[in-house]
Amino acid sequence: IEAGVKKFVFSSTAATYGMPDSVPITEQEPQKPINPDGESKLMFETILKWYRELHGLEFVAFRYFNAAGCSEKLGEQRRVETHLIPNVLRVALGQKKECRIFGTDYPTPDGTCIRDYIHIVDLAQAHILALEPGKCGFYNLGNGEGYSVREVIETCKQVSGKPIPAIEEGRRDGDPARLIAGSQKAIDELGWKPHYATVEQIVDSAWRWHSTHPNGYSD
């Protein structure tokens, strides 16, 4: 406010929904976070609503589902990798012995968690659209399709052409069985449309980066 900022675009998360009552999840789903990430993002969403009422600050808050994939120009690299797809691809590259599956007894067809993956380029496009005048509110960002952990691993095998051993472990605390986005509001109000509609496309973009940059940005 002191700096004269008129609009704030915030990266929130699907974790604000906690264990959803149904899928796909719309923006009307009750927000009941069950972990610190979801709780802290929900707190900031509340602050944004207050600041709009008190100071007229416009905002757009995007509730990301599982951001994944790579820009071929920019790639990706993290000090500590926690994301499923790059961790699985590290096994394909021979940088890890195996990947880990946390929980095989969920109420899903193959017993593993189901998530909605959205390409980072599609996320970036949504942020550009959010800057247009008159856009304000909360929006889910996802493809509206869910893929299980086993399906993602199998897709990585097919895309890379490499064997990918996996070991099974117990569930992690706070992992819902299914998280699938209902993103129709972003489509209708922002004119947003994801171009990487399948997990195969997302994995392919990640594999093209990681296979040509096995050491990350140092290559």
Beta strands in 156-217 (DSSP E): 166-169, 178-179
What sign has the CA pseudo-torsion 113, 205, 63, 42? positive
Domains and CATH numbers, the chain: 8-218 (3.40.50.720)
Please check the confidence at residue 28 and state whether its pLDDT lies above 80: yes
Rounded to 5°, angle at Cα 69 from 64 and 73: 120
219 pLDDT higher than 80: no
The Cβ of residue 51 has, within 10 Å, a number of other Cβ atoms equal to: 15
Instruction: Output phi, psi for 6, to 5 deg.
Output: -100, -20
Label the pairing between strands 178-179 and 117-119: unpaired
CA distance 81 to 88: 11
Of the chain, the end-to-end C-alpha distance in Å amounts to: 42
How many percent of the chain have pLDDT more than 90? Answer: 87
The backbone torsions φ and ψ at residue 35, rounded to the nearest 5 degrees and listed phi first, read -145, 165
CA-based nearest residue to 165, from 95, 81, 99, 82: 99
Mean pLDDT, residues 59-88: 92
The string of pLDDT tens digits covering residues 160-190 is 999 999 999 999 988 899 999 999 999 999 9
The phi and psi torsions of 183 (rounded to 5 degrees) equal: -110, 20
Which tokens sit at 94?
Answer: 């021979």
Percent of the chain with pLDDT over 70: 100
Strands of the sheet containing 7-13, edge to edge, are 7-13, 58-64, 137-141
Q: Which two tokens stand for residue 164?
A: 């990918």
Confidence (pTM): 0.92
The answer, yes or no, to whether residue 120 has pLDDT greater than 90, is yes
Which residue, chain included where needed, has tokens 């007229």? 56
